[in-house]
């Protein structure tokens, strides 16, 4: 079993671990212990790049440094463990999407992502969509849905249409431009629970952290007939 030890003064550095539901945590004076890691988690970059973590392996009630053959000290587990989400709480204020004054100075800004996500949303102009949809087959539209927001069209589903536009991926209820992610990814779930507990909306973000809120019920299957009716009703 893996165990991580860290001084309490470095608590901010472990908030990214809240994404892992298997982790449990306990506080002991000025020390924090965490366990419940999988092999992949303990060898992940977010662990390797944190200089404040001490990684132990628990064997027969002794603690071994990672990859060490001899034990360092005795381990007595007399603690009351709790899920990491309970131990590392995040306090979110009322909705204000240009800035969230979150505890520990966590702001949901977007930063470039090194991991490419699958695009699931496409934003296009109405004329571009009209030009394509009147020429393509009905089968090409079957897995897609759409909604008009102001002068833009948002298309949901996959595979997306091969037309020019801005693509997005989806993280819980947040529609994020491809190539970007939350600077602190672990806030996406508690943020959704705070501002969108019934999951009735999508929040389409841009890189300045402003947003467009889309009601999910307004999103309809994409077809030539639905397109023509919607455009006609809007004239």
pLDDT in tens, 20-36: 889 999 999 899 999 99
pLDDT band for position 206 (cuts 50, 70, 90): confident
Task: Examine the pLDDT at 211 and tell me if it is beyond 60.
Answer: yes
Round to whole Å and give the CA distance between 179 and 160: 17
Neighbour-count burial for 145-162, b at 16+ CB within 10 Å, e otherwise = bbbbeeebbbbbbeebbe
SS3 label, residue 174: strand
pTM above 0.75, yes or no: no
C-alpha dist (Å) from residue 42 to 10, 17, 126, 213, 227? 18, 11, 48, 37, 50
First to last CA, the chain: 65
Question: What local confidence, expressed as pLDDT, does residue 98 receive?
Answer: 42
C-alpha dist (Å) from residue 235 to 59, 89, 145, 150? 72, 49, 21, 13
Question: What local confidence, expressed as pLDDT, does residue 91 receive?
Answer: 56
Round to whole Å and give the CA distance between 156 and 119: 9
The number of CA neighbours under 13 Å toward the Cβ of 34 is 28
Query: Per mean pLDDT, which range of 77-81, 96-100, 208-212, 220-224 is the poorest?
Result: 96-100
Question: What local confidence, expressed as pLDDT, does residue 209 receive?
Answer: 66
Interval 141-188: pLDDT, tens: 989 999 998 889 999 999 999 999 999 999 988 999 999 988 777 778
Question: What local confidence, expressed as pLDDT, does residue 234 receive?
Answer: 55
Round to whole Å and give the CA distance between 187 and 85: 11
Task: Examine the pLDDT at 103 and tell me if it is beyond 60.
Answer: no
For the segment 182-209, the average pLDDT, to the nearest whole number, is: 81
């Amino acid at each position: 079993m893996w165990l991580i030890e860290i001084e309490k003064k470095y608590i901010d550095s472990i908030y990214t671990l809240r994404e892992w539901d298997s982790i449990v945590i306990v506080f002991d004076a000025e020390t924090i212990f965490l366990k419940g890691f999988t092999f992949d988690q303990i060898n992940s970059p977010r662990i390797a790049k944190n200089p404040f973590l001490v990684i132990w392996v628990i064997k027969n009630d002794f603690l071994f440094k990672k990859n060490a053959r001899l034990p360092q000290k005795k381990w007595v587990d007399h603690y009351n463990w709790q899920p990491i989400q309970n131990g590392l709480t995040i306090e979110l204020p009322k909705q204000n999407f240009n800035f969230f004054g979150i505890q520990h100075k966590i702001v949901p800004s977007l930063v470039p992502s090194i991991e490419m996500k699958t695009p699931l949303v496409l934003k296009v102009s109405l004329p571009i969509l009209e030009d394509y949809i009147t020429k393509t087959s009905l089968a090409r539209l079957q897995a897609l849905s759409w909604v008009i927001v102001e002068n833009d069209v948002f298309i949901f589903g996959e595979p997306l249409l091969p037309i020019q536009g801005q693509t997005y991926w989806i993280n819980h209820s947040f529609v994020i431009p491809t190539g970007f992610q939350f600077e602190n990814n672990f806030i996406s779930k508690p943020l959704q629970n705070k501002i969108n507990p019934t999951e009735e909306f999508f929040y389409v973000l841009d890189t300045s952290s402003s947003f467009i809120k889309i009601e999910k019920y307004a999103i309809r299957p994409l077809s030539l007939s639905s397109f023509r009716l919607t455009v006609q009703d809007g004239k």
